[in-house]
Amino acid sequence: QLVAHYETGNGDDWNATDLRMVSETEETVRLAIKSDGFSAFALGVQRPTLELVDTELASESVAPGEAVRLEVTLSNVGSLPAEDTGISVRAIEADADDLGLVDAERVTVDAKPDETVTRTLTVELVEPGEYALIVDGNRVTEPEPVASFMIQEPESEPTDPNERERMGSVPNSAPETGLDDADDDNAGTPVELVELNDFEPGSFVGVAVLIVIVPATLFLFRRVPK
């Protein structure tokens, strides 16, 4: 919005005066300014001016592709209300000299003069490194870095196939044996094994003779006449 000011008599101050547009062409605009006498006049433009009051970064270290949220608080220090005034957040590499734009998001602000508003801006980056955030816009005073954050290096995959298999495998539970509780109780009792090598041939001969004598005695006993 155009405004006109005239210089006071002592030249130390300027006062606003009425201004109206008389005619307009593609190249020129004729204005009528109300004045009580001869004076020096100055034309200006009134507009909203957003001043950054505070910022809050949700996280200072994120994974590649993870959203970074920046909450900004702005105050309209201008003489006119801000209506759909655009602001944006820019992410730049921390070691960049030319402040080249990496990514940006744009939102709008509505604020009356002397009113304070809060907006949330997000940035998503995939390249690991350190970045700085700048809040910018046509009505924002002195755009400058307000916060910094780090994009972490992605976790590397194991190169050893056996290691990858061990990392992804789940231990199987022991198979059921079907043994009852008694078997489980005796599971820890040692069993004495007898080897056949401990028997001597004489032991087998004695057993065989005993087996022959017993039936023969019974046979003779039955043959004896009564």
Exposure letters 6-34 (e unless 16+ CB within 10 A, then b): beeeeeeebeeeebeeeeeeeeeeeeeee
pLDDT score, position 190: 55
Position 78, amino acid: G
Q: How far apart are CA 2 and CA 105, in angstroms?
A: 31
Position 149, amino acid: F
- Mean pLDDT for 134-149 is 83
pLDDT score, position 23: 80
90/157: higher pLDDT: 90
Q: 84 near 108, Cβ under 8 Å?
A: yes
The SS3 call for residue 218 is helix
Position 69, amino acid: R
Cα 153 versus chain centre, distance: 13
For the chain, the structural domain boundaries read 2-45, 50-151
pLDDT score, position 184: 53
pLDDT in tens, 40-88: 666 666 678 898 899 999 989 999 988 889 999 999 988 788 888 888 8
Query: What HEC string does 122-156 produce?
Result: EEECCCCEEEEEEEECCCECCCCEEEEEEECCCCC
pLDDT score, position 71: 93
Q: How far apart are CA 208 and CA 12, in angstroms?
A: 144
The CATH number of the structural domain formed by 50-151 is: 2.60.40.10
> What does the mean pLDDT of the chain come to?
71
Residue (of 11, 24, 76, 23) closest to 46 by Cα position: 76
pLDDT in tens, 176-215: 555 455 455 555 555 555 444 554 555 555 555 555 555 5
Q: What is the pTM of this model?
A: 0.52
Q: For residue 124, what are the contacts with CB-CB under 8 A and spacing of at least 6?
A: 65, 66, 67, 68, 103
